[in-house]
Amino acid sequence: LLHTKFIYLSLIFHLLKQHAVCIPLHTLQRKQALHLKLHRRNSTREQLRMHHLFKQLPRAIIIGVRKGGTRALLEMLSLHPAVVKASQEVHFFDNDENYDRGVDWYLKKMPFSFPHQITIEKSPAYFITEEVPERIFKMNSSIKLLLIVREPTIRAVSDYTQVLEGKERKNKTYNKFEELVIDTKTCEVNTKYKAVRTSIYTKYLEHWLKFFPIEQFHIVDGDHLITDPLPELKLVEQFLNLPSRISQYNLYFNATRGFFCLRFNFMFSKCLAGSKGRIHPDVNLSIKEKLQRFFHPFNQKFYQITGRTFNWP
């Protein structure tokens, strides 16, 4: 009896907690249940209209950066009852073939949403692809742009690690990180290597600024998002003009994974894919420091432009 009572009480406690921390349970459940139902069932346009569901173009796009934590950011933002996410990377603006299919094709790729909700998609290649800013500008010149970055050397190693894993899966050999980042002829940092170039954030951002004012960008600290997500998410909520709804209740640390999991409500939670926390190879210290010295001036410029300073070396 005592046991049953305990379960009962903890259930009520959870329900109360939901409300106390301002997550409207019904909204969340409705959001999930309805979406699933309508996707599984073969819903007609009429049924969708009845539920006031429709597809909307994104009001905000996570434009990058690759290995910055774009997936984690998108998943965490989708904890917000007013945010719906495009599950797949859409690659509309960076892929000519997709782009030629037109904005209607892009819209079709978006999830169903209620009128008060905003849609967000992420495609990390957008940040470094030259044609993208102008194309996004043509669609919506006042769109909000989210850029999540990590310390540039760590990001480069992470980028390398992902490519390495792909090669290993195909039983292909791959050069060591140290061999790729240093130009053997000059003994300087090899700026032809993509993992190095992508970490020169200011170079790409300056190109974006030819189309959008800096006010339309929000920079997310990807290193901070991993260790302490909530403060970063609150800043994004503000930037998107959304009421603050994501709370500590929605994010719980899983010690086994060493990473945060997402709790949508007392029934439904999920952890981000395990492959996201890859172990990086040990990098020769002197080469790591060389890279840090290389990125240093670009980082200073990045802080200056964005008004957001990081304690990168």
Ligand X SMILES: *[C@@H]1O[C@H](CO)[C@@H](O)[C@H](O)[C@H]1NC(C)=O
* Interaction between residue 38 and ligand X (CB under 6 A): no
Q: Does 170 bind ligand X (CB under 6 A)?
A: yes
Interface with ligand X includes 48 (CB under 6 A)? Answer: no
- Site residues (CB under 6 A) for ligand X, limited to 55-94: 57, 59-60
Of 211 and 303, which has the nearer Cβ to ligand X? 211
- The kind and range of the H/E element at 113 are strand 112-113
Listed ranges 28-36, 81-89, 136-144, 275-283: which one lies at the site for ligand X (CB under 6 A): 136-144
For Cα atoms 243, 64, 162, give the angle at the middle one, nearest 5 degrees. 125
Decide: is 167 part of the binding site for ligand X (CB under 6 A): no
* 286 binding ligand X? (CB under 6 A): yes
126 neighbors 93 (Cβ within 8 angstroms):
yes
257 binds ligand X (CB under 6 A): yes
How many C-beta atoms lie closer than 10 Å to residue 144's C-beta?
A: 20
Q: How far are the Cα atoms of 5, 11, 78 from residue 2, in angstroms, in the given order?
A: 5, 14, 38
Q: Interacting stretch for ligand X, rule CB under 6 A, among 68-76, 148-156, 198-206, 256-264?
A: 256-264
Q: Is the torsion defined by CA of 97, 101, 104, 108 positive or negative?
A: negative
Give the β-pairing of 251-254 and 54-55.
unpaired
State yes or no: is 122 an active-site residue: no
Beta strand residue intervals within 225-264, DSSP E: 251-254, 259-263
Is 293 one of the annotated binding-site residues? Answer: no
Q: What is the contact surface with ligand X in residues (CB under 6 A)?
A: 42, 57, 59-60, 140, 142-144, 170-171, 254, 256-257, 261, 271, 284, 286-287
Please enumerate, by residue number, every residue annotated as part of a binding site for 3'-phosphoadenylyl sulfate: 67-71, 150, 158, 276-280
Q: What is the set of active-site residues?
A: 67
